[in-house]
Amino acid sequence: MDALPEGGGPKDLPDNLRPKSGFPNKYARLWWDRPSTTITRNLGTPSSSRCVHPHVSRGLTTREGARVQSFPDRFKFSGSRTDRNLQIGNAVPCLLSVALAKQVSHALG
């Protein structure tokens, strides 16, 4: 992960560091100033999706995943870390829900 540039993935690594199999978005770093890719329940597992922190060589924490999904920091999730990550990964981003509700309300006039 240390060798990954911001927004980089396996194709940006030297041949000797590239994963030999799997999806092209595994072990991929997020961008600091661009929208995130889809956040899944595996948000802390770099081997399963693009979820490496933009600047630190680790997967996202549960709270960072919640922030990407636009949950306020005061929002409390319940259960184990796996349970909380599943709740975050299954969620529609809060700000997207607000924008959709405004549009529906406007359309219904």
For residue 98, give both structure tokens. Answer: 């607000």
pTM of the model: 0.85
pLDDT(23) > 90: no
Position 3 scores a pLDDT of 92
Position 79 scores a pLDDT of 97
What are the boundaries of each domain within the chain?
10-108
pLDDT(84) > 90: yes
Position 88 scores a pLDDT of 97
Smallest CA-to-CA distance from 46 within 33, 36, 59 is with 59
Using CA atoms, how far residue 46 sits from 53, 57, 93, 95, 96, in Å, is 9, 10, 21, 25, 25
Q: What is the distance between the alpha carbons of residues 75 and 83, in angstroms, rounded to a whole number?
A: 15
Q: Of the ranges 19-23, 38-42, 45-49, which is most confident?
A: 38-42
pLDDT(83) > 80: yes
Q: Of the ranges 22-36, 39-53, 78-92, which is most confident?
A: 78-92
Asked if 57 and 80 touch (Cβ cutoff 8 Å), the reply is no
Q: What is the mean pLDDT of residues 84-95?
A: 95
Q: What is the mean pLDDT of residues 76-86?
A: 96
Q: Assign domain 10-108 to a CATH class.
A: alpha beta
